């Protein structure tokens, strides 16, 4: 089995490396020559736990190679995966499919013998058919099938998600294509992973439905957290109380500053657009998008409130910038709404993130960049925890307090127990949990 992976980003690189780990010959292609040069030198352009070793092992075994030469990778391939970006376009939330279509054109030109062209990128319903049309238009003589195989991996746990997924979804409409895909995923059949075959449209929609559902779940618990704050409830206990119900499930019930990342924001918006176009509006998802956007920015108000109503002239220490821990991905991270809102309100922001600083520097102006958590806290009037990296979970609170000008902590990820932080002498706020400030000890 020979595989060409077009696009060597978070999904393409992980999928390519994992397919090579299955024992297949994989060529990863990217048009970013710098990225390919780094990969050829054994450097991994993204932060993803375990990926460096996986790539190194398979590259050393000769099963995994990297190139900018798309045609050379596609010609001998049995399956070509398109894993290029589908970002939010500039016109109102549609998915920008220009990278997918241009990759499809390039792939078409290089096809040689029967090949399965698989869209792994997250693409709106109907894209697979369009890719099919593009290939046919470009190469009337090509022998191919288009398959949809959306990816469900999570950054930060991408390798185990790929190797042991909850399920694999495959939209394939010919027996020949199905056979190739069965071969590709044979190692997962062996561990009894549910592999769902469907039409192209069903597979494409399944990915959006999954992300919209998860985004809704997060938004739901965030609203319950807000209500808890008003009525004196504890959202942790509410989440546990509902999550133990098998019909609901415990995952994705962590209240926080709103979802971000490279998928949920753009995919929920794209689903809303698709649904409107087809005359079946998803009003629930429309509301989720709106509520979540407003929530991210409103997190700055929480900080101001905790700082006595204003952050003007204050030093705010921000720990964590990436949209979640264990990734360096800054796309649509809540920090990108919170930090500018604090600065507009007159704060000076000092920040640290274990892996996301390089990407963050390009997106956030005027921040004082620090080398670790404690340096960030020097002279700060408030500490805001935006991303729950493990290294922020057990800070030495006495040391933190001694470093800060004013011991104020706003924990947007609920990683501390209110009683512990207040016992250490902080003014503390978190999301949806009762905090009795009277317990503060001087
Ligand atoms: N990041 C995730 O966690 C995740 C999870 C599931 C699905 N997805 C979906 O997978 C797709 C890829 O996401 P990503 O985060 O890996 O994107 P990314 O932006 O990290 O990577 C895309 C790569 O494709 C390359 N590229 C673009 N056009 C190309 C072309 N014609 N030829 C060769 N290379 C080309 C780019 O240079 C880039 O390196 C998106 O549709 C995304 O929604 C992402």
Give the pLDDT confidence of 360-390 residue by residue, as tens digits.
Answer: 999 999 999 999 999 999 999 999 999 999 9
Mutate which of 4, 8, 9, 154 to test ligand 1's pocket (most atoms within 8 Å of Cβ)? 9
pLDDT of residue 6: 98
| Mean pLDDT, residues 238-265 taken together | 98
**What percent of the chain is predicted at pLDDT more than 90?**
97
Distance from the alpha carbon of residue 330 to the mean position of ligand 1, in angstroms: 14
Mutate which of 67, 85, 98, 151 to test ligand 1's pocket (most atoms within 8 Å of Cβ)? 85
Indicate the pTM of the whole model: 0.96
pLDDT of residue 306: 96
pLDDT of residue 93: 87
Residue located nearest, by CA, to atom 43 of ligand 1: 122
pLDDT of residue 438: 53
pLDDT of residue 436: 72
Task: Copy the structure tokens of residue 285.
Answer: 């998802």
| Mean pLDDT, residues 277-296 taken together | 97
Which one, of 41, 42, 47, 56, lies nearest residue 9 by Cα? 47
104-125 pLDDT per residue, tens: 999 999 999 999 999 999 999 9
Ligand 1 pocket, residue 11 CB under 6 Å: yes
Rounded Cα–Cα distance for residues 48 and 60 (Å)? 19
Residue located nearest, by CA, to atom 1 of ligand 1: 10
| Mean pLDDT, residues 137-151 taken together | 98
Ligand 1 pocket, residue 268 CB under 6 Å: no
Distance from the alpha carbon of residue 15 to the mean position of ligand 1, in angstroms: 11
Query: Model confidence at 439, in pLDDT bands (50, 70, 90)?
Result: very low
| Mean pLDDT, residues 165-174 taken together | 98
202-217 pLDDT per residue, tens: 999 999 999 999 999 9
Rounded Cα–Cα distance for residues 20 and 14 (Å)? 10
Looking from the CA of residue 29, the nearest atom of ligand 1 is 33
442 has pLDDT over 50: no
441 has pLDDT over 70: no
Residue located nearest, by CA, to atom 33 of ligand 1: 30
Rounded Cα–Cα distance for residues 376 and 314 (Å)? 14
pLDDT of residue 413: 98
pLDDT of residue 90: 81
Which one, of 303, 291, 309, 243, lies nearest residue 430 by Cα? 303
254 has pLDDT over 60: yes
Ligand 1 pocket, residue 105 CB under 6 Å: no
Query: Model confidence at 73, in pLDDT bands (50, 70, 90)?
Result: very high
201 has pLDDT over 50: yes
310-332 pLDDT per residue, tens: 999 999 999 999 999 999 999 99
Query: Burial letters for 370-409: b for 16+ Cβ neighbours within 10 Å, e otherwise?
Result: beebbebbeebbbbbbbbbbeebeebebeebbebbebbbb
Looking from the CA of residue 99, the nearest atom of ligand 1 is 28
21-48 pLDDT per residue, tens: 999 999 999 999 999 999 999 999 999 9
pLDDT of residue 79: 98
440 has pLDDT over 80: no
Residue located nearest, by CA, to atom 20 of ligand 1: 9
Number of helices and strands in the chain (H, E):
18, 14
Distance from the alpha carbon of residue 371 to the mean position of ligand 1, in angstroms: 30
Q: What sections of 111-199 are H helices per DSSP?
A: 127-138, 158-163, 175-184, 186-190
Active site residues: 263
Rounded Cα–Cα distance for residues 384 and 412 (Å)? 7
pLDDT of residue 92: 78
């Amino acid at each position: 089995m020979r595989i060409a992976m077009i696009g060597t980003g978070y999904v393409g690189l992980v999928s390519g490396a994992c397919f090579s780990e299955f024992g297949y010959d994989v060529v990863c292609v990217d048009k970013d020559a710098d990225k390919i040069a780094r990969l050829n030198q054994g450097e991994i352009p993204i932060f993803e736990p375990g990926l460096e070793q996986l790539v190194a092992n398979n590259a050393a075994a000769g099963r995994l190679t990297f190139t900018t030469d798309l045609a050379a990778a596609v010609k001998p391939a049995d399956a070509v995966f398109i894993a290029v970006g589908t970002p939010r376009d500039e016109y109102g939330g549609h998915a920008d499919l220009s990278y997918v279509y241009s990759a499809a054109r390039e792939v078409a030109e290089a096809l040689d013998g029967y090949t399965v062209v698989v869209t792994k990128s997250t693409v709106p319903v109907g894209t697979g058919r369009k890719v099919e049309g593009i290939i046919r238009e470009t190469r009337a003589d090509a022998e191919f099938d288009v398959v949809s195989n959306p990816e469900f991996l999570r950054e930060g746990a991408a390798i185990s998600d790929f190797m042991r997924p909850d399920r694999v979804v495959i939209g394939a409409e010919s027996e020949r294509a199905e056979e190739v895909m069965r071969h590709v995923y044979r190692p997962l059949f062996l561990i009894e992973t549910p592999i769902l075959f469907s039409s192209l449209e069903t597979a494409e929609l399944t990915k959006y439905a999954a992300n919209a559902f998860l985004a809704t779940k997060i938004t739901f618990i965030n609203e319950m957290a807000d209500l808890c704050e008003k009525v004196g409830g504890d959202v942790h206990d509410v989440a546990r109380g509902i999550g133990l119900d098998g019909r609901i499930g415990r995952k994705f019930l962590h209240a926080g500053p709103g979802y971000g990342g490279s998928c949920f924001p753009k995919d929920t918006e794209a689903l809303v657009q698709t649904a409107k176009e087809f005359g079946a509006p998803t009003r629930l998802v429309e509301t989720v998008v709106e509520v979540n956007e407003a929530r991210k920015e409103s997190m700055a108000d929480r900080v101001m409130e905790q700082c006595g109503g204003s952050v003007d002239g204050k030093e705010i220490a921000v720990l964590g910038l990436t949209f979640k821990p264990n990734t360096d991905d800054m796309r649509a991270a809540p920090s990108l709404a919170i930090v500018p809102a604090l600065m507009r309100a007159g704060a000076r922001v000092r920040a640290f993130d274990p892996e996301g600083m390089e990407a963050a520097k390009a997106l956030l102006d005027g921040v004082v960049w620090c080398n670790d958590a404690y340096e960030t806290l020097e002279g700060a009037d408030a500490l805001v925890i935006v991303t729950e990296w493990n290294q922020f979970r057990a800070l030495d609170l006495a040391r933190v307090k001694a470093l800060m000008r004013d011991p104020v902590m706003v924990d947007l990820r609920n990683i501390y127990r209110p009683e512990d932080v207040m016992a250490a002498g902080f003014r503390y706020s978190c999301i949806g949990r009762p905090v009795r400030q009277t317990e503060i000890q001087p």
